[in-house]
A and B are shown apart, each in its own frame.
Chain A
Amino acid sequence: QVQLVESGGGVVQPGRSLRVSCAASGFTFSTYGIHWVRQAPGKGLEWVAVISYDGSNKYYADSVKGRFTISRDNSKNTLYLQMNSLRAEDTAVYYCSRESKLYYYSYAMDVWGQGTTVTVSS
Chain B
Amino acid sequence: QSALTQPASVSGSPGQSITISCTGTSSDVGGYNYVSWYQQHAGKAPKLMIYDVSNRPSGVSNRFSGSKSGNTASLTISGLQAEDEADYYCSSYTSSSTLVVFGGGTKLTVL
Chain A interface residue bracket vs B: 20 to 34
CB within 8 Å: A-B pair count: 69
Closest to A98 in B: B48
When distances are taken between beta carbons in the complex, the residues of chain A under 8 Å from B97 are: 62, 65
Stretch at the interface among B9-17, B18-26, B75-83, B87-95: B87-95
Chain B residues contacting A89 (CB-CB under 8 Å) are: none
Complex-state Cα separation, A83 to B61, whole angstroms: 38
- B99 contacts A by Cβ under 8 Å: yes
Q: Which chain B residue shows the least CB distance to A115?
A: B45
A82 CB within 8 Å of chain B: no
Residues of B within 8 A of A62 (CB): 97-98
The answer to whether A44 and B36 touch across the interface, beta carbons within 8 angstroms, is no
Residues of A within 8 A of B52 (CB): 106, 108
The reply to whether A107 and B102 contact each other, CB–CB distance below 8 Å, is no
Interface of A toward B, CB cutoff 8 Å:
35, 37, 44-47, 50, 59-62, 65, 95, 97, 100, 105-110, 112-115
Name 17 A/B residue pairs within 8 A (Cβ), A-sorted.
A37-B102, A44-B2, A44-B103, A45-B105, A46-B102, A47-B91, A47-B98, A47-B100, A47-B102, A59-B99, A95-B46, A100-B48, A107-B36, A108-B51, A110-B48, A110-B57, A112-B45
